[in-house]
């Protein structure tokens, strides 16, 4: 893996090769390994090491980027030349800011109080992964099920150096297990990740997935319609994740956000509080953004009221001069920008839902539900209406009927068409938020949710 010292040396060489007014190099890289299993067999098993140096050059209000993964002089010179050639073409952008210095960027290290790099995760070998997979396959065999899934481990780096003296470096590890258990006409699923492999319990994940597969066997069909649902954290995460692209100053300026004309209004139920907080102990990722600016803790939603959105440096400056300046709450760089140049601006990616006053477990939510549906996982979610924030998708791998406070066996899978605004206005109960992950959205700290009048429109054939 690339070290900070070697990266600094590469940056120094790039500076020497460049004639630009300003130079920034964003380093990203990882040593990534993934063991994949299906039909109770390891069928794919991969490992890779790669590192990128992405060079941004500025010339008098113009900027562009070129990226290389070879660090010899010839490759770096070619990338510098490509970046500079691109940067010379556009007309100057009056809104382009100088690159941030250390003062502009803030102290990102303050964000993360504990390390996100764990030697025990980095040290996992192919043999270690095979042993764990073997144990999870053993669970499948014991329940007479077929299993498929992954066990991955990685160490990754992200660093930024620029010619105004800014230097940022972040390393972390991540271990992840995702497992599906399949029976003849049903299935169950679980997924979890953590920077520290010790936080994963593979056998518990396998047993839970197996229980869901067994208990949802011989699924029945009830008519589509509006039901109270209990969304497990992964399901809640995957659906709500579709709104966070809109919590962006640039999305407001572009008039492509469902929050246009709605910031400051009570859009959701009073029990909804949402932060973006890269420093939260259950979060992962780097403490700085694509320009190296410290990611700040930002409250996006307070008691159902959308308070504000996040900003890259350039977007904040632009917003202050815009017609929206008095309508969008606080405007300041929050450290959520994507690497420049880009057209999307920024987005919050370390979402943390506030804990409810009276948290309920999933079991308590089921017990208080007369008629409803328990959802393990949602799938293939896509936006139908960008302003009403209607999204569609399917249930998958563990959908259960709830009658009179009890689980009453498996259901076939359903298509939903649901407004996220309506959904977050109809949350009746939440669990303590946990670190969760899905497949449709990024990892979050999110609770299980009990939601009334969730809109299922069709049922599929299994």
Partner 1 sequence: MKTVALLALDTAAARWATYADVRIVQMRNRALTTKNGRVGHASESESLGVGVRVIANGAWGFSASADLSDAAVVATAARAVEIAKASARVKRQDVHLAPEPAAVAEWTTPYKVDPFSTSVEQNLGLLLKVDAEVRAVAGVTLAETGMTFAREESWFLSSEGADIHQTKYSTGAGYTAYAFAGSEIQKRSYPNSFGGQWQNRGYEQIEEMKLVENARRVAEEAVALHRAEQCPEGVFTIILDGSQLGLQIHESIGHPIELDRVLGMEANFAGTSFLTLEKLGSLRYGSDLVNVVADARQEHGPGLGTFAYDDEGVAAQSTPIITNGRFTGYLSSRETAHTIGATRSGGTLRAEGWNRLPIIRMTNISILPGEKPLTLEQLIADTEHGVYLETNKSWSIDDKRYNFQFGCEIGWEIRNGKRVRMLKNPSYSGITTEFWNSMDAICSRDEWTLWGTPNCGKGQPQQVVGTGHGASPARFRNINVGSAYKS
**Binding to partner 1, residues 379-438 (CB under 8 A):** 379-388, 390, 392-394, 396-397, 413, 415, 417
Of 34 and 305, nearer to partner 1 (C-beta) is 34
Of 394 and 420, nearer to partner 1 (C-beta) is 394
Q: If binding is defined by CB under 8 A, does position 329 make contact with partner 1?
A: no
Q: How many residues does the chain have?
A: 462
Of 12 and 48, nearer to partner 1 (C-beta) is 48
Residue 335 has φ and ψ, to the nearest 5°, of 80, 40
Q: If binding is defined by CB under 8 A, does position 265 make contact with partner 1?
A: no
Of 39 and 115, nearer to partner 1 (C-beta) is 39
Of 101 and 254, nearer to partner 1 (C-beta) is 254
Which residue in 8, 260, 364, 368 binds partner 1 (CB under 8 A)? 260
Which residue in 4, 34, 211, 269 binds partner 1 (CB under 8 A)? 34
Choices 68-76, 160-168, 292-300, 366-374 (CB under 8 A): range interacting with partner 1: 68-76
Which residue in 10, 68, 240, 300 binds partner 1 (CB under 8 A)? 68
Which residue in 17, 21, 22, 32 binds partner 1 (CB under 8 A)? 32
- The b-or-e profile of 239-261 (16+ CB within 10 A means b, else e) is bbbbbbbbbbbbbbbeeebbbbe
Which residue in 44, 120, 265, 361 binds partner 1 (CB under 8 A)? 44
In the complex, the smallest distance separating the C-beta of residue 71 from partner 1, rounded to whole angstroms, is 9
Q: If binding is defined by CB under 8 A, does position 321 make contact with partner 1?
A: no
Which residue in 152, 153, 315, 334 binds partner 1 (CB under 8 A)? 152
Of 33 and 298, nearer to partner 1 (C-beta) is 33
Q: If binding is defined by CB under 8 A, does position 58 make contact with partner 1?
A: no
Q: If binding is defined by CB under 8 A, does position 439 make contact with partner 1?
A: yes
Per-residue mark of binding to partner 1, 353-382 (x: CB under 8 A): --------------------------xxxx
Of 1 and 367, nearer to partner 1 (C-beta) is 1
Q: If binding is defined by CB under 8 A, does position 143 make contact with partner 1?
A: no
Q: Sign of the C-alpha dihedral, residues 83, 84, 86, 90?
A: positive
Q: If binding is defined by CB under 8 A, does position 21 make contact with partner 1?
A: no
CA distance 75 to 70: 6
CA distance 183 to 197: 29
Which residue in 116, 129, 143, 294 binds partner 1 (CB under 8 A)? 129
- The b-or-e profile of 152-187 (16+ CB within 10 A means b, else e) is bbbbbbbbbbbbbebebbbbbbbbbbbbbbbbeebb
| Angle (CA) 219 224 230, round 5° | 70
What element of type H or E holds 360? none
CA distance 452 to 424: 10
DSSP conformation letters of 76-124 = HHHHHHHHHHHHTSSPP-TTPPPPP-HHHH--GGGT--S-S--HHHHT-
**Touching partner 1, residues 77-116 (CB under 8 A):** 78-79, 82-83, 85-87, 89-91, 93
CA distance 299 to 219: 42
Q: If binding is defined by CB under 8 A, does position 43 make contact with partner 1?
A: yes
Q: If binding is defined by CB under 8 A, does position 166 make contact with partner 1?
A: no
In the complex, the smallest distance separating the C-beta of residue 433 from partner 1, rounded to whole angstroms, is 25
Give which of 314, 292, 295, 288 is closest to 63, Cα–Cα: 314
CA distance 147 to 133: 10
**Touching partner 1, residues 191-220 (CB under 8 A):** none
**Extended strands (E) in 332-423:** 351-353, 371-385, 390-403, 406-410, 414-419
In the complex, the smallest distance separating the C-beta of residue 444 from partner 1, rounded to whole angstroms, is 19
CA-to-CA separations, 99 to 90, 253, 368, in angstroms, rounded: 18, 22, 55
Q: If binding is defined by CB under 8 A, does position 271 make contact with partner 1?
A: no
Q: If binding is defined by CB under 8 A, does position 259 make contact with partner 1?
A: no
Q: If binding is defined by CB under 8 A, does position 137 make contact with partner 1?
A: yes
**Touching partner 1, residues 229-248 (CB under 8 A):** none
Residue 200 has φ and ψ, to the nearest 5°, of -95, 140
- What DSSP state is assigned to residue 295? P
In the complex, the smallest distance separating the C-beta of residue 72 from partner 1, rounded to whole angstroms, is 11
Q: Which residues, in sequence order, are CB contacts of 12 under 8 Å at separation 6+?
A: none
CA Rg value for the chain: 24
In the complex, the smallest distance separating the C-beta of residue 459 from partner 1, rounded to whole angstroms, is 8
**Touching partner 1, residues 170-189 (CB under 8 A):** 178-180, 182, 187, 189
The three-state secondary structure class of 24 is strand
């Amino acid at each position: 893996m690339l070290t900070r010292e070697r990266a600094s040396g590469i940056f120094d060489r790039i500076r020497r090769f460049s004639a630009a007014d300003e130079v920034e190099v964003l380093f990203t890289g990882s040593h990534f390994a993934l063991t994949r299993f299906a039909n109770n067999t390891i069928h794919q098993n991969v490992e890779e090491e790669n590192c990128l140096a992405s060079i941004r050059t500025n010339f008098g209000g113009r900027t562009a980027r070129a990226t290389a993964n070879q660090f010899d002089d010839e490759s770096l010179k070619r990338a510098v030349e490509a970046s500079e050639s691109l940067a010379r073409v556009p007309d100057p952008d009056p809104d382009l800011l100088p690159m941030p210095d250390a003062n502009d960027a803030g102290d990102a290290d303050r964000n993360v109080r504990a390390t996100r790099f764990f030697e025990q995760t980095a040290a996992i070998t192919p043999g270690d992964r095979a042993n764990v997979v073997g144990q999870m396959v053993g669970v499948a065999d014991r329940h007479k099920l077929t299993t498929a899934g992954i066990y991955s481990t990685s160490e990754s780096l992200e660093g930024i150096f620029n010619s105004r003296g800014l230097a940022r470096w972040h390393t972390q590890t991540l271990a992840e297990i995702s497992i599906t258990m399949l029976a003849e006409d049903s299935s169950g699923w679980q997924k979890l990740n953590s920077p520290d492999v010790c936080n994963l319990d593979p056998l518990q994940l396998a047993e839970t997935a197996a229980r869901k597969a067994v208990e949802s066997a011989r699924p029945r069909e009830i008519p589509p319609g509006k039901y109270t649902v209990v969304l497990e954290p992964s399901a809640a995460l995957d659906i709500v994740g579709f709104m966070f692209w809109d919590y962006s100053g640039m999305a407001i300026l572009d008039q492509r956000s469902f929050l246009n004309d709605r910031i400051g209004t009570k859009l959701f139920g009073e029990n909804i509080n949402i932060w973006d907080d890269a420093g939260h102990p259950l979060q992962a990722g780097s403490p700085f953004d694509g320009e190296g600016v410290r990611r700040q803790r930002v409250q996006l939603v307070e008691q159902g009221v959308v308070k504000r959105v996040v900003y890259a440096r350039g977007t904040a400056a632009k917003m202050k001069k815009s017609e929206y300046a008095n309508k969008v709450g606080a405007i300041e760089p929050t450290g959520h920008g994507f690497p420049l140049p880009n057209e999307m601006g920024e987005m919050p990616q370390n979402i943390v839902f506030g804990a409810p006053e009276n948290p309920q477990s999933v079991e308590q939510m089921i017990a208080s539900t007369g008629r409803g549906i328990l959802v393990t996982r949602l799938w293939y979610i896509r936006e139908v209406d960008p302003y009403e924030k209607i999204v569609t998708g399917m249930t998958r791998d563990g959908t259960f009927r709830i009658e009179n406070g009890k689980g009453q066996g498996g259901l076939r899978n359903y298509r939903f068409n649901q407004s996220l605004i309506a959904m977050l206005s109809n949350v009746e109960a939440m669990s303590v938020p946990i670190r969760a992950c899905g497949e449709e959205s990024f990892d979050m700290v999110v609770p299980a949710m009990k939601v009334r009048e969730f809109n299922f429109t069709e049922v599929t054939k299994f």
